[in-house]
Structure 1
Amino acid sequence: MSDPRSATATPASRTSLQLRNVRMGSGGPLGTVSVVGGRIAAITPDVPPGPVDDVLDGQGRTLLPGLSDAHVHIVQWASARRRIDVSTAASAHEAAQQVARSAAAAPAAGSAGEPLVGFGFRDGLWPDRPHRDLLDWAGERVVALVSNDLHTAWLGAAALAKLGRAHHPTGVLREQEALDAVARLAQVEDAVADGWVADALRAAAARGVTHLIDFEYGDNVRDWTRRLTGPQPAVRITCAIYPEHLEEAIAAGLRTGDPLPGSAGLARVGPLKLFVDGSLNTRTALCNAPYPGVPDETQAWGILQTPPHELERVMARAAAHGVHSAVHAIGDRAGTIALDAFERVGCPGRIEHAQLIDAADLPRFARPDLILGVQPAHAPDDRDVADHHWAGRTHRAYAYADLLTAGAVLQIGSDAPVSPLDPWRGIAAAVHRGGGADREPWHPEQAIALSDALTAAAGGRSALRVGDPADLVLTDHDPVDLAAHELAHMPVHATMLGGRWTFRAT
């Protein structure tokens, strides 16, 4: 897969600037980085002579390659920033009451057809179950609650009626049904959604992000082509393709890594997104051992969303036209199926999540041209659910140290809105395994070195190099000096994209 940073971010410019008195990489020496025309032109211990257009005195701050979030659902993240937070609910009853209280506090919300949406519930350990009856207080108002992993939608009567499913017995939809329902209920005008996205990208830039892969459920090529007619985004975008849009992409001659027309390198065609299984919290991740207490024996091991023969057929079709695949696989059985497909098709691409690993598969993850998109910030969030539903197997869960030792290539993402679009959370979780003031690290043997985490969170860039695009982040502290909770909340002083500032602290 080509490097999304391989072109400059803006039309060619000879603007020059110097970043003086900066620490060049974590633990590196102090010096000056000169930027000309959007690229790093020189790295020197002293200030080079001659005039420049702009100077920033870093005052000893640390300069790093810009961060890349390798897995984002950007419209859902932009929307989730405006939704009702139900992530602290300890039961279905409590989640329903949290939304009810928010609705009572803002009675105008939900008018004019706008739904009331709660986001972030985790029902894997709840003593009760979500049910439409718990949302009866809403009356004719459209109410929907979306699980933290996006794989479950819990709907009230009005929401079900709007979808033509008024007689659904529980109001709980899972997997593709849930994704489709939320997309329909939360749909807004393009201009509104685009404004939310632009705001979310500015917030991402403030955390040092210079690139993301957008796995939003939709026609991402179309949507990003439209957005690029407006102001330049604060972050480079690689936009995924979904199977229903594959033939259209092939007909247009789009290949993974191609710049979108008119994007000046700011947006590129990404991989084809395919699903093998579901998620841990929903107990639909496909595993080699059954989940405890699942009443439906046909789904006790999780679910298979795309059979192997169909997965391989679609991957081969895409590969024949230069489109790589990104395969969602969370359970250990799903990971094996995904690896089998890559071996049989013989194409480059990605496996997304890889949360539970079959130990026999570890060497196979070192396959050339295969990238693992992982989300370390999920580990501290999921540890209790995993300890229950994957009991006795969690030494193989979020097994980043084992994967690196085996030769796998990792890229860190957030899966926002599943976790916030903030790479520092993922970096801290990868290095410290969720350890903090209140809990011991979870399987600390799977922690990885800070240098490896920084590389995985920067799309593979491990150092500042002359000739690279000036996609950079300047942090107030050297990451190596910080404890887990401090690293997760790293203060960012400035972010640069192709030589232009996308964020500067006041």
Structure 2
Amino acid sequence: MSELRLRAARPGSGIRRTLAEVRLAGGDGRPLDVVLEDGLVADLRPAGTGPVEGEVTDAAGRWILPGLWDFHVHFTQWAQTSRRFDLSGTRTAAEVLAAVDSHTAPTSDAPTGPDEPAVGFGFRNALWPDAADLAAFDRVSHGRAAILIAADLHCVWLNSAALWRYGHSDSATGILREEDAFAVLQSIDSAPESVVDGWVRDAADAASARGVVGIVDFEMAWNLESWSRRIAAGAIALRTRFGIYPQHLDRAIEERLRSGQILPHTHGLLEVGSLKVITDGSLNTRTAYCVDEYPGLAATEHPRGVLNVPPGELVSLMSRARDAGLESAIHAIGDQANTHVLDAFAATGARGSVEHAQLLSADDIARFAALGVTASVQPEHAMDDRDVAERYWAGRTDRAFTLRSILDAGGTLALGSDAPVAPLDPWLAISAAVARSRDGRAPWHPEQSISVAEAIAASTRDGSTTVRAGQVADLVLVDRDPYAATADELRRMPVSATILNGRDTFTSL
């Protein structure tokens, strides 16, 4: 697939045409000229034929694909992650505390002052061989309040100063889960909006450099306001479809928002998404709601995980959203939670997606197609969670991350990252979905792998893998043939240019 990439007109500069010489994915390999006009792919021609008008850029043998989407992100948190100290390489509680000690020591170059909480991100405590020790945490914090965020966002670890600040002084370990953790996450941001918006713009530019043209943002905020403000200030690198949480449902209904509605004065970039409901927890926090008990948790309050939203309440929320013209995007990770969610889709006739769908009962796999519900999945989580799953979902991992089975049953996949849980890079998701492997390890349940074409289709807005006349000119040019790439090459796929609505958002040409 050889592409020539053409520069489209900027808004307000009038109609201009761009020619790109490109071999299309899945085509016969012959170079084509791609004509872009008014933000659309106006024509495809054999290379070198027809009149050449406007500006021409030579793709020099590169490959062209439809622009890529990440269908599940928490974008503000992703933008903030680079400003938090990194805990992703830790494997024990002791290693986490050593990182805290290093970051909060008086000689540290930490970017925040001593009165600001020290915030770290990325620990995974499901397989820690040692326990969370609050007294030890306090000793290494050097008088600073400290908040540590788990990679799955469903758990935080606070020292005593932070526990006091957030009203949890009675916690024996400092570990908070689910709703308590979400409340902390929503309240820790102290930077001004303009600063955070700058970080968001940087993160959007970085996403464009990986071929991303659009995201579905499930930040736990009133996202219409945030993104309208950002776009007005010039953040126009991404299309954004935003989620609406239950606490904002009344406001969305009052403002007559409808799923798929494009908001005015946003350059056509901001779209109303779905009602987002979090019904259960996560695997790493052992709060995903399952049929079977978690090993070692039988004597606890929630041995099978946590059901955050009872089935009756879920049906009520989804019914209200449906009646208002809103789709539903429902978080479910454990097999029992997924059954409840699919039951709610069946009861309400709502349209939308199950977000994550990590562990499914055998009977539920075919229900995605039968109900017309999209499985919005994050293949890189399978690489992060395979060892945790083998321990806590022992004997059931053949039903975990069942991408192949969902497709074979006629279902639809949408790939995402859940950034910052995994990096916002669709090539990582594509590689994980295809290879079920990372870091040289043997493939994990390779029977659930899907093809490169299927993974790319699940990473584009309309499920396409080719560029066609008449489609919106959201395109990406890459330096390597994705259909001939190894799993590692897919992960490192070099992107040369990203075009959104006929204009460059990234180029290295």
TM-score (norm 2): 0.94
- Say which is worse superposed, 312-321 or 26-35, in terms of deviation: 26-35
**What CA deviation, in whole Å up to 9, does each residue of 1:46-79 have, x standing for no partner?**
2343343221211111100000000000000000
Larger CA deviation: 379-388 vs 152-161: 152-161
Counterparts of 1:79 and 1:59, CA distance in 2: 37
- AA aligned to 1:264 is H
Contact in 1 for aligned 2:346/2:371 (Cα 8 Å): no
Counterpart residue type for residue 47 of structure 1: G
Mapping of residues 482-497 of structure 1, within 5 Å: 482-497=485-500
Unaligned runs of at least 5 residues, structure 2: 1-8
Q: CA deviation at 1:390?
A: 0.5
Q: 1:435 to 1:224 in 2, by over 3 A?
A: closer
Q: How does 1:119-158 map to 2 (within 5 A)?
A: 119-136=121-138, 137-158=140-161
Distance 1:28 1:194, change over 3 A: farther
- Aligned-pair identity in percent equals 44
Alignment of 1:1-80 (within 5 A): 13-20=14-21, 22-26=22-26, 28-29=28-29, 30-80=31-81
Residue 217 of structure 2 aligns with an amino acid whose one-letter code is D
Shift of 1:159: 1.6
- Structure 1 residues 108, 433: closer, same or farther in 2, change over 3 A? closer
Q: Could you tell me how far apart the structure 2 residues matched to 1:28 and 1:433 are?
A: 29
Give the equivalent residue in structure 2 for 1:303.
306
Q: CA deviation at 1:233?
A: 1.9
Aligned 1:107-506 pairs, distance under 5 A: 107-111=109-113, 113-136=115-138, 137-294=140-297, 296-436=299-439, 438-459=440-461, 460-505=463-508
CA gap 1:202/1:344 in 2 versus in 1, 3 angstroms: same
Do the aligned partners of 1:109 and 1:116 also contact (CA within 8 Å) in 2?
Answer: no
Amino acid corresponding to residue 498 of structure 1 in structure 2: N
| Residue 449 of structure 1: how far off its partner (Å) | 0.9
Deviation at 1:32, TM superposition (A): 1.3
Deviation at 1:431, TM superposition (A): 0.3
**Retained in 2: the 8 A contact 1:152–1:178?**
yes
Find the counterpart in structure 1 of residue 5 from structure 2: none
Relative to structure 1, the CA distance from residue 294 to residue 363 in structure 2 (aligned partners, 3 Å threshold; closer, same or farther) is same
Q: Tell me, in whole angstroms, the C-alpha distance in 1 between the residues paired with 2:315 and 2:147.
A: 35
Aligned letter for 2:95? E
> Structure 1, residues 159-187: CA drift from partner, whole Å, max 9, x if none?
22222333432211101111110221233
Please give the secondary structure, in 2, of the residue aligned with 1:43. Answer: strand
Partner-residue secondary structure (3-state), 1:336: helix
| Paired residue total | 497
| Secondary structure, counterpart of 2:232 in structure 1 | coil
**Distance in structure 1 (CA, Å) of the matches to 2:290 and 2:167:** 33
Distance 1:483 1:110, change over 3 A: same
State which drifts further: 34-43 or 137-146. 137-146
Name the TM-score, length of structure 1 as normaliser.
0.95
Q: What SS does the aligned partner of 1:272 have?
A: strand
Quick one: which amino acid aligns to residue 31 of structure 1? L
For 2:17 and 2:242, the matched residues in 1 are separated by: 30
Show structure 1 runs of 5+ residues with no match.
1-7
- TM-superposed CA distance for 1:486, in Å, is 1.2
Instruction: Tell whether the 8 Å contact from 2:379 to 2:433 is kept in structure 1 after alignment.
Output: yes
Question: What do the CA deviations read for 1:335-382 (whole angstroms, capped 9, x no partner)?
Answer: 110100000000111100000110011111103542111000111110
Shift of 1:505: 1.2
Q: 1:114 touches 1:186 (CA, 8 Å); kept in 2?
A: no
Whether the aligned pair in 1 keeps the contact of 2:114 and 2:144 (CA below 8 Å) is no
* Per-residue deviation, 1:130: 2.5
* Shift in alpha-carbon separation, 1:124–1:60, aligned structure 2, 3 A: same
Q: Distance in 1 between matches of 2:230 and 2:451?
A: 38
Tell me which amino acid in the other structure corresponds to 2:158: L
